[in-house]
Structure 1
Amino acid sequence: MRITFLPLLLLLLLAATPARADLHITRDHGGYVTEYKAKYERIRDRKERVIIDGICNSACTLVFGIVPMNKVCVTPRASLGFHQAYYDKAFTFGIKVTSAEGTSDLMSYYPRPVKDWIRRNGGLTSEMKKIKNGTELWKIVDPCPEEF
């Protein structure tokens, strides 16, 4: 079998080119803020798109402060949920204890439209405040293009 230089070069170039993929959020109830910051920074650095196609609650919403807004969109199934940050229940004997410092950190990441919605809805509290698909959500993030 004879392998020519040009096909080999093309194969090497394709293998070296990073794959681009979209992140589809469908059922994300949040988690550790530091993990979400790192995840979204990687997505931002790779210039990937984020499609919110379901639940994006709690730390998941950090996407709006880390990934450029022109790389984030929502489908008709999207919903967002915001609440105050709280300490890991493993260290508070299972009791939800809010963190003023953590909440302030969360708020520092959010762009103006998110902060405005939170303010109009009474600020962050320990209870989840949700936005469902529609005009309120579209004031924060654009709907996904029709080709989705």
Structure 2
Amino acid sequence: MNLLRLIARPMLAATFVMDGVDSVIRPEGHAEKFRKVVPALEQAGVPAALYADPKMLARVSGAVTAVSGLMLATGRRPRSAALTLALVNVPLTLLNNPVWAARGGEERKRYLSGLVRGASLGGGLLVAAADLAGKPSWGWRLANARKERAAARPVTARVKARYAD
């Protein structure tokens, strides 16, 4: 692992670990934010079972966020952890920054700032999810294996023909 990854991954993950732990320990504040968007979810036709217990949802979301953040920070499955955080980040950013519900210019400005901050973190997480750390991607590995097998077929056929007699 190079120095940049050693420093950047924990820096990116820190906010998610802190927020996740806070959500697990003190879910009330997080659940209250969630309760504000329940009417919108009902209108959208989201099944009630998905938002019936906001505290439990806050705890589960916090646990996923904290564990994924720790995985990213420590370099354990960092691509999967970053992708998980990016996927969790989208609804949480929208939930925490309801620009559409702003009642004034200052509140709208604050929500918009939070929305842009969340989008920036999401972009950083997507970059981290795409970071191959110098290793080739699975797509390249698969294509290379196919090419190698195709190149080996004529040789294999000649060897088989030679010793088949």
TM-score range, shorter chain: under 0.3
Relative to the length of structure 1, the TM-score reads 0.26
Higher-Rg structure is 2
Per the normalisation by structure 2, the TM-score is 0.24
Higher share in strand:
1
